[in-house]
Chain A
């Protein structure tokens, strides 16, 4: 799927972080493309509309995961 970015955004493609600039035309997977278009960050090149654009809320909550560190010793081994 080819998309044209309508804003600058940072995401992942194939699990690798990628930065997109406004006006960029990129080939991405159908899944990523639909997600980017769905968030309103890009449009499908050629003006074909296949993904529904969701209006982004003015405020969103992060679900930050607590972290736990163990401490142990190895008796000098």
Chain B
């Protein structure tokens, strides 16, 4: 009898796991993910860098080749492409190249309290400064996926 009950129990568990994933799923509220994305949206400067910055000073000066002022309106939140939530960083065109070099990274900075908020990569691109040459940053996004 006990063996029969054990088999029934195991069968029921398998059924719930297979058909009722909801019983074992993980979830996160959008406001939790948006909380992190909202911090990114406090960015006030975006820079193209010749190496990966790990500090504000590196992102703002040491490795910076070009910089552009950012504001809250440059950031847009939405559902993620895969899952979760994402924030899109708006495109910036005609950004003056301050120093020649090869851009490999893009950094988001908050100037008021000197915080390096986020760093991503870009395809290596030579930037040549001559007082008028410019660089265009396309729109790009940061996505935080739902838990797995």
Contact = CB atoms under 8 A, between A and B. Distances in A.
Interface of A: 7-12, 17, 19, 39-41, 56-73
A10 B65 contact: yes
Interface of B: 26, 28, 33, 48, 50-51, 62-63, 65, 82, 84, 94, 99-104, 106, 118, 120-123, 125-130, 132-138, 140-148
Contacts of B127: 60
22 contacts: A10-B51, A10-B63, A12-B104, A17-B50, A17-B51, A39-B128, A58-B133, A60-B133, A61-B125, A61-B136, A62-B106, A62-B136, A64-B122, A64-B137, A66-B140, A69-B142, A69-B144, A71-B33, A71-B144, A71-B147, A73-B26, A73-B147
B100 A9 contact: yes
Contacts of A40: 128
